[in-house]
Structure 1
Amino acid sequence: MDEKTGNAGPDRIEHSRDDRLKAALKANLARRKRQVRARQNARESDAAPRDENED
Structure 2
Amino acid sequence: MEGDEELHDSRPGDTGETRGDRARKAAAAREAERKARAAAKLRENLMRRKSQARARRAGEADSTDGLPAAKTDESS
The two structures share one fold, judged by TM-score above 0.5: yes
Q: What per-residue deviation string (whole Å, max 9, x for no partner) do you get for residues 18-46 of structure 1?
A: 11011001111111100110000011111
Q: Give the structure, 1 or 2, with the largest relative contact order (CA under 8 Å, sep 6 or more).
A: 2
CA RMSD of aligned residues (A): 1.7
Using the alignment, how far apart are the partners of 1:49 and 1:25 within structure 2?
A: 36
* The one of 14, 22, 32 aligned to 2:23: 14
Identity of paired residues, percent?
Answer: 12
Q: Give the match's secondary structure for 1:48.
A: helix
Structure with max Cα Rg: 2
Q: Which runs of 5+ in 2 are unaligned?
A: 1-5, 60-76
Using the alignment, how far apart are the partners of 1:34 and 1:47 within structure 2?
A: 20
User: In the alignment, which residue of structure 2 is the partner of 1:47?
Assistant: 56
Deviation of 1:49 after TM superposition, in Å, equals 2.5
Q: Count the aligned residue pairs.
A: 50
Q: Which runs of 5+ in 1 are unaligned?
A: 51-55
The answer to which structure has the higher helix fraction is 1
Deviation of 1:7 after TM superposition, in Å, equals 4.6
